[in-house]
Structure 1
Amino acid sequence: MVQNFREPQILEIARAEGKVKVEDLARRFDVTVQTIRRDLTELAEAGKLERVHGGAVLPSGVSNIGYEDRRGLNSDAKSGIARLCARAIPEDASLFLNIGTSTEAVARELLHHRNLMVVTNNINVANILVANPDCQIVLAGGILRRSDGGLTGDLTTRTIEQFKVDFAIIGCSAVDEDGDLLDFDVQEVGVSKAIIRQARTTFLVADQSKFTRSAPARIASLRDVGAVFSDAPLPGDLAQKCAEWGTEVHIS
């Protein structure tokens, strides 16, 4: 592939926003939509993007996007989602926060909550919440994943099973059209399943890019979630399914 000057910039936009649209890119670069379609086709053939109707998204596959790239992906949207979710968490509550940049955003929004107890398998969440003197932090043991500060494995699951908390706040790598929550790491999925079992109410925090991606391992269904917090209306008939399941949908 002979790379033109637009393609690195298109990839940067995709990493920042999770998705690129043909018409938006044509206006941005002042070229025809046919030119942008050719650019996206070349990037897709190189495995750097995945074509979808009207544009392209970051490729899904069987491995996740790098942690630092995920941290910068849709950061403004994640902050808005986190603020909305944090408002649904009362003070004097106990909760789980799992691995992910979205749950880290929620942790930042909980810094002024009083009398919290947080159980987490995310070292980054623990480091954020240290700044809240009114928050008791329980860090689940397990195997440290250096790439993102996550703790996974049987020890992590056994620690989580010692608690029954008011709320679980979880993220995931993808949500498919059937409402299944998906992830890439099987051990992480096992921990997330335990978190859901041990919580009275589960909240999912997921920006709109998660609804255009795929991953191979299933965590649960939106049917098992009390509420989902996102930055855009759910695609397809997921909103209707959530209404039938009793799953609340909150859009930031």
Structure 2
Amino acid sequence: MYAMERQQGIERILADDGRVSVVDLAHRFDVTTETIRRDLAALEETGSLVRVHGGAVAKDDSTNESSVLERIQQHGPAKRAIADRALAALGPEFHGSVFIDAGTTAAAVAEGLSARAATAPQGYPSTNGSRARVEAVTHSLTIAPVLAVAQDISLTVIGGRIRGVTAAAVGAETVAVIGRLRPDVAFIGTNGISAGFGLSTPDPEEASVKAAIVRAARRVIVVADSSKHDRELLVSFASLSDIDVLVTDAEPPADLATALADADVEVWIA
């Protein structure tokens, strides 16, 4: 295979997965790791990617953001696995409040929570034997319908100006309402997570809402597939020390893993 064909193949894999590994590419194309590193260097020069430790990630416009309809088609199995693993944090006898952020991975959490309620004919049993309920809160117009029809889930939807690209409420009123809440657990999505910049997103108003959720919750669980690792978007909304758990589908790169450990963040691999 010629170098150009291999590099085109790398670009296709990167478009699908958001991240590539030198070792994986070397195995896939049956070449040495040094050959792959030269390919990545060439692609970086053309602006196709950004090299990181052990591989490369897609080059970002720090303000670019796919719509929720586009993102719902990406990394579906990984998002469902992440959601299932994240919901284990609630435990079989959970009786309390959850805030579910906007985003497609958070939507998978909402779907899992709804399905979990539907398969519990007695509701979620509490330790005192009463019929327990989950108080759910969201500001997402795509997540609200999933939770609204769920058995044993009481739903509060926070309003505000709706951002079309994410179908989520934003603005000062939204932030103010969130500030008056104290959910037991918040499931937060992010567009990027890195050692130096923390959690980030392209839009300042989305960042303000996410920051408010992080401040409000007693426990913060970030749900993010591995394409978000080592990405830095325009606005940071939380530091690594602000979160309790990261649920993802692959081990974070070494630098990020070290920073998460230093911040005392639990990393759960789905």
Q: Is 1:227 matched with 2:230? A: no
Quick one: which of 190, 205, 225 aligns to 1:187?
A: 205
- Whether the 8 Å CA contact 1:179–1:238 is kept in 2: the answer is no
Q: Which ranges in structure 1 are unaligned for 5 or more consecutive residues? A: none
Which residue in the other structure is 1:168 paired with?
186
Quick one: which of 207, 217, 220 aligns to 1:199?
A: 217
CA separation of 1:197/1:22 partners in 2, compared to 1, >3 Å: closer, same or farther?
A: closer
- Whether the 8 Å CA contact 1:202–1:226 is kept in 2: the answer is yes
1:52-201 alignment runs, 5 A limit: 52-67=52-67, 68-90=69-91, 91-111=94-114, 112-113=116-117, 114=123, 115-178=133-196, 180-201=198-219
- Whether the 8 Å CA contact 1:15–1:69 is kept in 2: the answer is no
- Residue 69 of structure 1 deviates from its aligned partner by 4.3
Q: Is 1:49 matched with 2:46? A: no
Amino acid of the structure 2 residue aligned with 1:18: G
- Residue 52 of structure 1 deviates from its aligned partner by 3.3
Q: TM-score, normalised by structure 2?
A: 0.78
- Whether the 8 Å CA contact 1:15–1:73 is kept in 2: the answer is no
Larger of the two Rg values belongs to structure: 2
Q: How many residues align?
A: 250
Q: TM-score, normalised by structure 1?
A: 0.83
Q: Give the percent of matched residue pairs that are identical in Structure 1 and Structure 2.
A: 36
- Residue 30 of structure 1 deviates from its aligned partner by 6.0
Residues 169-212 of structure 1 show CA distances to partners (whole Å, capped at 9, x for unaligned) of 10111112236111111111111111112211111112222222
RMSD: 2.9
- The whole-number CA distance in structure 1 between the counterparts of 2:5 and 2:71 is 24
CA separation of 1:11/1:145 partners in 2, compared to 1, >3 Å: closer, same or farther?
A: farther
What is the SS of the residue equivalent to 2:254?
coil
